[in-house]
Structure 1
Amino acid sequence: MKKWILALVACLTFSMTAYATIEIYEFDNLEQEHQFKELGNTLRCPKCQNNTIADSNAELAVDLRHKVYEMTKEGKSKQEIVDYMIARYGNFVTYNPPFTIATSILWLGPIAVVLLGFGLIIVRSRKPKAVTEKDDQEWDSDKEARLKALLDEEKNDGDKQ
């Protein structure tokens, strides 16, 4: 019985290493290998969104790596491969999307918000504070009488002592 349990544990242990495979790509020349590595580090995984296809373990990233490998082996240029990926997955697949009308908000939006905010701060800080005549009259009539009454009261208290 112990032999069967030991054999089962050994089979399960060795079968787990099948999941830990490393993808090996063979190229015809060194230039193709450099192009593959460069594209793997410059194309973004559409599923992970913040990883390159070289760093991601998602199934989509594996498929993209395989497609880049196939296209590189076919002799396609780097730009042709990038254009294919953009046509299929959109500008998001690149880390530096081009400046277009659709992406202008992404590029110009933060600058516009900062400029608008600083402009508003400058306008509000340079605007003089207006004193209305009503506030002036209020001070003259009500508060002046009250001030005189307080001063007279203090003067009378000082004379009594």
Structure 2
Amino acid sequence: MKRLGCILLFILFYASLAQAAVDSYSFDDPQLNKRFIHLTENLRCPKCLNQNIADSNAMIASDMRRKVHQLLSEGMSEDEIVLFMKARYGDFVYYQPPLNAVTALLWLIPLSFVFFGFCGFLYVKKSKSNESSRKSVEKNKALAIEKANSLLGLEKEQ
């Protein structure tokens, strides 16, 4: 009997967790519905980590979906809605941030590390190559002097 009560209690709690709030937004025009889906998939939830507002269950994402629906119903274009959301939540809210000084630095700094690392690698490789070629030149020079001395009949003093 106790076991049955525990199972029923578990099912009751589990059913309450399974219930999710689902927002349903509809438009008379199917084109507006496509634009709504496109916008909600391209706007990032400010609270969630790398999740768009279409998939997020956060309250702020729900508010953003409601606002996108309202703005589309008022006749605003996608660009105007994106600008509205960027003004309200910052550039982070859009998955395709604009190219400006900050975003350019985000691309240029790692590329500069790669460039300078490659230059350093070439410098080290060239200096080692020069050192080994210098040693081989000295060795060849010593061998040539020794051969010349032996041909001339000069003996090396020891």
TM-score, structure 2 as length reference:
0.69
- Superposition map of 1:5-154 within 5 A: 16=16, 19-127=19-127, 128-129=130-131
Structure 1 residue identity aligned to 2:106? L
Unaligned runs of at least 5 residues, structure 1: 131-135, 137-161
CA distance in 1, matches of 2:90, 2:42: 14
SS at match of 2:27: coil
TM-superposed CA distance for 1:17, in Å, is: 7.9
* Aligned residue pair count: 124
CA contact (8 A) 2:23 2:62 kept: no
TM-superposed CA distance for 1:102, in Å, is: 2.0
CA distance in 2, matches of 1:18, 1:111: 47
- Structure number with larger C-alpha Rg: 1
TM-superposed CA distance for 1:25, in Å, is: 0.7
Percent of pairs identical after alignment? 41
CA distance in 1, matches of 2:21, 2:99: 40
CA contact (8 A) 2:47 2:60 kept: yes
SS at match of 1:88: helix
Unaligned runs of at least 5 residues, structure 2: 133-137, 139-158
TM-score, structure 1 as length reference:
0.67
CA distance in 2, matches of 1:103, 1:18: 41
TM-superposed CA distance for 1:19, in Å, is: 4.1
CA distance in 2, matches of 1:90, 1:107: 20
Q: Deviations over 1:106-155 (max 9, x none)?
A: 1212211111111111111111338xxxxx9xxxxxxxxxxxxxxxxxxx
